[in-house]
Amino acid sequence: MKLENLAIGLIAAGLRKKEFSAEEVVIAYLEAISKRDAGGR
C-alpha cells in the first residue's frame, strides 16, 4: 500500500470519527509526504 493511500485512509477515518481537527489533518498529511520524499517508500 502506498504511503499516500495509507495517510488518506487514516485522515478520512479520523474525519468520520471527528477525532482530528482540520489543522491536525493537514499536519499529518504533510508529515506523510515529507517522509515519503525523504526516501521512506
> Scanning the structure block, which residue is given the C-alpha cell 506523510?
32
Q: Measure the CA–CA gap between 31 and 16, rounded to whole angstroms.
A: 21
Whether 3 and 21 have beta carbons less than 8 Å apart is answered as no
Q: What is the pTM for the complete model shown?
A: 0.43
Task: Give me the tens of pLDDT residue by residue for the chain, a chain 41 residues long.
Answer: 577 787 777 777 766 766 667 787 788 888 888 888 887 55
State the cell numbers at 21: 481537527
**In whole angstroms, how large is the CA radius of gyration of the chain?**
10
Per-residue pLDDT at 37: 82
